[in-house]
C-alpha cells in the first residue's frame, strides 16, 4: 500500500499561492458552543457573521508534476514540471510588463506571456521571470500574412508563446525593493561593478554592497573604474590599492580613449556577465566600445546634481558576436542587500573573515562587543579603517533594527 500511495502522490506538491482577498476567518463552532456552553453566550455573538475561507489552507493548491527538490536559490517555491517534448527551450532576453522576449538556441526570438500558475506562486520576488532565466515555453503562433507576427519592433519576433516552466537559477544579482526581492539578472557567471572616476564620483559603499552580493552567490567580481581619463590616476591609487590587496581585480577604463577595452572584450568572451552601477557611469558606453554594432543609447550626466539619466530602463541580456552575453542593467542609486543577515556580513568580507572566529562571542557583530578580534585587528592596522567604517555603516544603516 505504501508503494501505491507513493506512486499516486508522485509529481504532486502542496505549494503556496498568492490570495487576492483574505477576509475574516471563523474562529469557533457555534453549534458546539450552543451544545456545550452556557446558551447566554450567544447573546454576545454578532447577529451577522461573514463566512469566509479556511484561512491559510486556502493559500495552498496541489500542482501536478511539481518537484519540491528541484529548487534554485531564487525564492521560487516550486519547480513545475511539464511535458518538455511539446515545448521549446530558450533564454529570457528581457521582461517588459507581462511580456518576455525569449531567444532559442537557433537565434529566433519569441514574445511570451507567463503561465498563470507560475504568476500565482507565492514568492518574495517582484517578478517570476527575469532576464537571464532559462525557460520552457509553448509556441502559440499568431502570424501575419508574411509568416511573422505584426509587431512594431526592430527585432524579428517569429511567434507568440507561453512560458510553462522556469528552470532553477544560479548566479543571482538581486537587491531589496519595497520588502521584496528585486532580481536584476539570473544565471550570471561574472559581475562587472562599474564606477566612474568622475561625473558622477565613486561611491565605495555601493561597490562594497555589490561585492557582498557577488560573494553570497559565488559570482566572480571585477571592479571597473570608468572615465579614468577625467582625473589624475594617482588620486585613485589608495582606493585601487585597498581592493587590489583583498584579491579583487580593479580595472581602470575609458570608453573615450579605449583604455583596457581590449582586456574587457577578452574577459567577456564565453561568459555570462552582468554590468551594474550608478546611472551615468558609462555601462552602455563601455558595451558600445567593446562591440560597436550594439549601438546602445547613451546620455550625459546632469550638470546640476552630477547624477546620470536613465537610458537603460530594464535589464536586458545581450548576446555578443564574439561569444558569451552581457546584461545591460538600469542605473542603481541604492543597493539594499537581500537575504544577508548582519551576522553574515563579516564572513563575506575577505579582510574581516580571518578574524571572525577569534572573537569571544560566536554571534559577535564586531561593533561594541568585548573581546572582538576584528576590532583589535583594526586597531593594529591589519584591517583598513575605511573598510571597517564601511562595514559599521552598512550594519547600522540597513541590517540592524533602530
Q: Are 213 and 319 within one domain? A: yes
86 is in an annotated binding site: no
Res 27: pLDDT: 53
Q: Which of 17-31, 175-189, 201-215, 280-294 has the lowest mean pLDDT?
A: 17-31
Res 151: pLDDT: 45
31 inside domain: no
Checking if the pLDDT of 116 tops 50, the result is yes
Average pLDDT, the chain: 78
372 is in an annotated binding site: yes
Which comes out higher in pLDDT, residue 82 or 59? 82
227 is in an annotated binding site: yes
219 is in an annotated binding site: no
Q: For 144-153, write each residue's pLDDT tens digit.
A: 444 454 444 4
Checking if the pLDDT of 211 tops 90, the result is yes
pTM: 0.74
153 inside domain: yes
Res 269: pLDDT: 93
Read off the pLDDT band of 55 (50, 70, 90). Answer: low
279 is in an annotated binding site: yes
Q: Are 198 and 286 within one domain? A: yes
226 is in an annotated binding site: yes
281 is in an annotated binding site: yes
282 is in an annotated binding site: yes
Res 217: pLDDT: 93
Which comes out higher in pLDDT, residue 111 or 332? 111
Q: Are 123 and 144 within one domain? A: yes
Q: Are 178 and 229 within one domain? A: yes
278 is in an annotated binding site: yes
Res 310: pLDDT: 46
Q: Are 320 and 287 within one domain? A: yes
181 is in an annotated binding site: no
Checking if the pLDDT of 172 tops 90, the result is yes
392 is in an annotated binding site: no
Q: Which of 233-237, 333-337, 350-354, 378-382 has the lowest mean pLDDT?
A: 333-337
Q: Which of 121-130, 271-280, 345-354 has the lowest mean pLDDT?
A: 121-130
Read off the pLDDT band of 70 (50, 70, 90). Answer: very low
Report the 3 state secondary structure along the chain: CHHHHHHHHCCEEEEEECCCCCCCCCCCCHHHHHHHCCHHHHHHCCCCCCCCCCHHHHHEEEEECEECCCCCCCCCCCEECCCHHHCEEEEEEEEECCEEEEEECCCCEEEEEECHHHHCECCCECCCCCCCCEEEEEEECCCCCCCCCCCCCCCCEEEEEEEEEECCCCCCEEEEECCEEEEEECCCCEEEEEEECCCCCCCHHHHHHHHHHHHHCCCEEEEEEECHHHCCHHHHHHHHHHHHHCCCEEEECCCCCCCCHHHHHHHHCCCEEEEEECCCCCHHHHHHHHCHHHCCCCCCECCCCCCECCCCCCCEEEECCCCCEEEECCCCCCCCCCCCCHHHHHHHCCCCHHHHCCCCCCCCCCCCCCCCHHHHHHHCCCCCHHHHHHHHHHHHHHHCCC
34 inside domain: no
306 is in an annotated binding site: no
4 is in an annotated binding site: no
Q: Are 157 and 181 within one domain? A: no
Which comes out higher in pLDDT, residue 38 or 370? 370
Q: Are 125 and 245 within one domain? A: no
Read off the pLDDT band of 354 (50, 70, 90). Answer: very high
226 inside domain: yes
Checking if the pLDDT of 256 tops 60, the result is yes
Residue finishing a domain among 166, 196, 230: 166
For residue 198, the enclosing domain spans 173-328
CATH of the domain at 392: 1.10.40.50
25 is in an annotated binding site: no
366 is in an annotated binding site: yes
120 inside domain: yes
Residue finishing a domain among 166, 190, 220: 166
Amino acid at each position: 500500500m505504501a508503494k501505491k500511495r507513493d506512486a499516486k502522490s508522485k509529481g504532486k506538491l502542496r505549494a503556496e499561492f498568492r490570495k487576492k482577498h483574505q477576509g475574516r476567518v471563523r474562529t469557533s463552532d457555534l453549534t458546539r458552543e450552543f451544545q456545550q456552553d452556557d446558551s447566554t453566550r450567544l447573546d454576545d455573538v454578532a447577529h451577522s457573521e461573514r463566512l469566509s475561507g479556511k484561512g491559510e489552507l486556502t493559500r495552498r493548491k496541489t500542482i501536478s508534476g511539481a518537484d519540491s527538490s528541484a529548487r534554485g536559490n531564487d525564492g521560487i517555491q516550486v519547480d513545475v514540471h511539464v511535458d518538455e517534448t511539446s515545448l521549446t527551450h530558450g533564454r529570457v532576453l528581457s521582461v517588459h510588463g507581462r511580456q518576455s522576449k525569449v531567444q532559442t538556441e537557433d537565434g529566433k526570438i519569441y514574445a511570451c506571456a507567463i503561465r498563470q500558475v507560475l504568476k500565482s506562486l507565492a514568492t518574495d520576488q517582484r517578478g517570476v521571470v527575469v532576464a537571464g532565466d532559462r525557460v520552457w515555453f509553448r509556441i502559440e503562433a499568431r502570424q501575419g500574412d508574411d509568416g511573422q507576427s505584426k509587431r512594431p519592433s526592430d527585432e524579428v519576433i517569429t511567434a507568440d508563446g507561453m512560458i510553462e516552466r522556469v528552470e532553477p537559477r544560479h548566479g543571482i544579482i538581486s537587491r531589496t525593493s519595497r520588502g521584496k526581492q528585486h532580481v536584476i539578472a539570473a544565471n550570471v557567471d561574472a559581475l562587472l561593478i562599474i564606477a566612474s572616476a568622475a561625473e558622477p564620483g565613486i561611491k565605495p559603499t555601493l561597490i562594497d554592497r555589490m561585492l557582498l552580493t557577488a560573494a553570497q552567490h559565488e559570482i566572480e567580481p571585477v571592479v571597473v573604474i570608468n572615465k579614468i581619463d577625467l582625473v589624475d590616476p594617482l588620486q585613485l591609487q589608495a582606493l585601487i590599492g585597498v581592493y587590489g590587496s583583498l584579491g579583487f581585480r580593479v580595472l581602470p577604463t575609458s570608453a573615450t580613449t579605449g583604455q583596457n577595452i581590449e582586456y574587457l572584450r577578452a574577459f567577456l568572451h564565453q561568459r555570462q556577465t552582468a554590468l551594474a552601477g550608478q546611472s551615468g557611469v558609462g555601462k552602455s558606453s563601455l558595451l558600445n566600445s567593446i562591440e560597436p554594432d550594439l549601438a546602445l543609447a547613451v546620455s550625459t550626466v546632469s550638470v546640476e546634481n552630477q547624477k546620470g539619466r536613465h537610458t537603460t530602463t530594464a535589464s536586458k541580456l545581450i548576446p555578443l558576436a564574439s561569444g558569451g552575453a552581457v546584461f545591460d542593467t538600469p542605473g542603481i542609486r541604492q543597493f539594499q542587500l537581500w537575504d544577508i543577515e548582519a551576522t553574515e556580513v563579516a564572513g563575506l568580507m575577505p579582510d574581516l573573515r580571518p578574524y571572525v572566529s577569534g572573537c569571544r562571542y560566536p554571534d559577535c557583530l564586531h561593533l561594541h562587543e568585548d573581546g572582538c578580534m576584528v576590532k583589535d585587528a583594526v586597531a593594529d592596522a591589519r584591517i583598513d579603517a575605511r573598510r571597517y567604517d564601511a562595514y559599521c555603516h552598512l550594519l547600522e544603516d540597513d541590517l540592524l533594527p533602530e
